[in-house]
Amino acid sequence: MERSRIVAANWKMNVLPSEAKTLAGQVARALPIKNVEVIICPPFTHLFSLMPFQSESLKIGAQNCNENLFGAHTGDISAQMLKDLGCSYVIIGHSERRARQSTENARISAKIHAALQAGLKPIYCCGEGLPIREKEAHIEFVKDQLESDLATLQKEHIEEIVIAYEPVWAIGTGKNASPEQAQEMHASIRKWLSARFGNDLSIQTQILYGGSVKAVNALALAKQNDIDGFLVGGASLNVDEFMKIVHSVSESAND
């Protein structure tokens, strides 16, 4: 089964609301690109204004959600609110939140359940830091993350999830995993999925790579058997660079 390809833009805390429509519009006008779905995940403040750009080839997603339906959670946004606004996706478990929010790791599984219940597709992030990589414990570390965050899900839930492997040591550092390093981890994730949920589901699950993805390295990464696209940070803020990445993913799908 041929998996569809995804390139997701994580704008992080960048781009002013007054600039967001211009940037998203430039991306929208460059689409569709054959075999690739593009997702833009801007700050919460931009979501409403970007909804008119949603189409079959371009979806809008959020960068996080709270695991509760509603309540006294000042500053947080529920999955239901995001869905009601029109969002299609939500990033959950990004390494920057894992590192900076002391309770984040313990909440990820519940956030995934909340997103699924609301009808959103989670982009679930996992990945190891440099000390783990240097100890060559990265495979087991990510397996432990998967076990902690996804093991309570049912097969029908996994069918709605996109996984993004992001080596923490490569995010925003200018470093990136080699194609061989990225493929090794993606194959390991797929192997874990197969053991836990069955081979058919493992084969159909989209697994993205994230970590200093740029036009110059995108094609070599995208050509790996188990890499189905990218979660792009800084490079997504430059339309020319971002669209070159999208075209690289399309080219790899056509090989």
User: Which contiguous run of DSSP H or E holds residue 82?
Assistant: helix 79-85
Q: Which domain holds residue 206?
A: 5-254
The CATH number covering residue 26 comes to 3.20.20.70
Contact 158, 193 (CB under 8 A): yes
Cα 125–68–126 angle (5° rounding)? 10
Cα–Cα distance between 125 and 90 in angstroms, integer? 11
pLDDT score, position 1: 55
Domain count, the chain: 1
- Residue 203: count other Cβ atoms within 10 Å of its Cβ: 14
pLDDT score, position 175: 72
Q: pTM higher than 0.85, yes or no? A: yes
The residue among 125, 122, 118, 121 whose CA lies nearest residue 78 is 118
pLDDT mean values, one per 10 residues, the chain (255 residues): 90 98 98 97 98 98 97 97 98 95 95 98 96 94 97 93 93 80 97 96 96 93 97 97 98 83
Instruction: Output the CA–CA distances (angstroms, integers) from residue 38 to 56, 76, 180, 246, in the order listed.
Output: 9, 26, 25, 8
Cα–Cα distance between 156 and 175 in angstroms, integer? 36
By annotation, the residues acting in catalysis are: 94, 166
